[in-house]
Structure 1
Amino acid sequence: MLGHLGFSYVGLIYLLMLWIPNTIWSRNKPIDYNTTKENKLLVLLERVGQACCTCIILIFTDYNLAPFSAWSWWLIAFFFLMVLYEISWIRYFTHEHTEENFYRSFYGIPVPGASLPVMAFLLLGIYGKVIWLIASSIIIGIGHIGIHIQHLKAIKHVCE
């Protein structure tokens, strides 16, 4: 449950799938995007979770491909969530760049830009049996998903 030290190419692929659309987004933020009212505790949890997840996903070999077993289904589910994550970004980039479009649900998944990668981190932690990634996923989930839900509630409040 602690993990085997080494380099994870699966972790690197995951981070690329995460960072590339986020880098593109940083140049195409919603026209009405506002971070001034984000809860400071949620921001702290998000940053701590990001740092931990980024390091942990790269330094343990437990996420790399192994012979197929029942545990492989966790990796398949992880990959499926990341494909959905990429598709949700395509939806955002091909539509109007507004907060409403950015935070709207995707196939019933609320705040997909936050919930899909967090769930993927969690599934990868389960697949690799690395408690550190599982715990870090929970920390980033509280912060990242919490911030996105705050933004979504603010949008709904403005629309009412």
Structure 2
Amino acid sequence: MATAPAVNGQVIGMAHYATRALAERLLPRGTTFNQALALNAAEAAGGAVERRALIARLTGAVKLGLAAAEATVVALTSAGLLEERLGDLLALTPAGDALVQAYKAGVAGIAAELYGDLPAEDLAAAGRVLTEVTARADAMLAAG
């Protein structure tokens, strides 16, 4: 039996890109992964989110540059998936909500296949390690 590799950036990155590729297959042609993340953020906020908060989510959690985050929002409003409302709010349109719901269902199916038979204690340990690595990387980025 082969020895499992130690957790490092390459192993984490390979897992991320493999699962991201699966998730991207679920998106309609012309919709990007970053756009899906923005739509998910709006849905998680109850269907409407302040523009400033959405941009902060894309630049903070997703690590997009400010211009790329703004372009993502513009593309979503131009595509009719988000609409601008009073108070600098961005709200899911019916089309945007339908896309998010279909995407979430597809991702849930992928996650069930990928993680469903893994031991809960292994998943918990991986979650703790990855959360700590993310916090440390974010601190290093904030420090410059």
TM-score w.r.t. the length of structure 1 is: 0.30
Question: By percentage of residues, which structure has more strand?
Answer: 2
Larger relative contact order (CA 8 Å, sep ≥ 6) = 1
Larger radius of gyration: 2
Structure 2-normalised TM-score? Answer: 0.32
